[in-house]
Amino acid sequence: EVQLVESGGGLVQPGGSLRLSCAASGFTFSDYYMSWVRQAPGEGLEWVANINPEGTEDYCVDSVKGRFTASRDNAKNSLFLQMNSLRADDTAVYYCARSAYGSAVNPWGQGTLVTVSS
């Protein structure tokens, strides 16, 4: 059974940093692009980042470029999102998902909540 379990969310002050993790199981992790998608409270979905299967290329949306970095450890079936210089508008539930052919493949993780507030 495919499972994605996010962790690492919490309360952080503006300007602070946080590292999210996503533990993957039930599939060959190193075969897939992986993605981070976020959802601000009561709002819609926003794609944040993709990373290629080798972990050599990551793509971030402009609103987080230069502040967020996606990475992965294929030996440990783990995906990460390093978030620096956090702002209030980064407050959201962050989901990880497998990606293929221009889409996120089911199932998604349950998400981890990041709250940026003083």
Partner 1 sequence: DVVMTQSPLSLPVTLGQPASISCRSSQSLVYSDGNTYLNWFQQRPGQSPRRLIYQVSNRDSGVPDRFSGSGSGTDFTLKISRVEAEDVGVYYCMQGTHWPWTFGQGTKVEIK
Q: Which residues would be at the binding site for partner 1 (CB under 8 A)?
A: 37, 44-47, 50, 59, 61-62, 95, 99, 101-111
Three-class DSSP category at 10: strand
Q: SS3 of 37, please?
A: strand
Residue nearer to partner 1 on the CB measure, 96 or 116: 96
Q: Give 77-98 as a 3 state SS string.
A: CEEEEEECCCCHHHCEEEEEEE
Question: Nearer to partner 1 by C-beta: 28 or 103?
Answer: 103
* CB 101 to partner 1: min, Å: 7
Encode burial over 70-81: b for 16+ CB neighbours within 10 A, e otherwise.
bebeeeebbbbb
In angstroms, give the least distance from the CB of 72 to partner 1.
18
For partner 1, the closer of residues 5 and 15 by Cβ is 5
Sequence-distant (≥ 6) Cβ neighbours of residue 108 within 8 angstroms: 4, 37, 95, 96, 97
The CB-of-65 to partner 1 minimum distance in angstroms stands at: 10
CB of 36 vs partner 1, minimal distance in Å: 11
14 versus 26: smaller Cβ distance to partner 1: 26
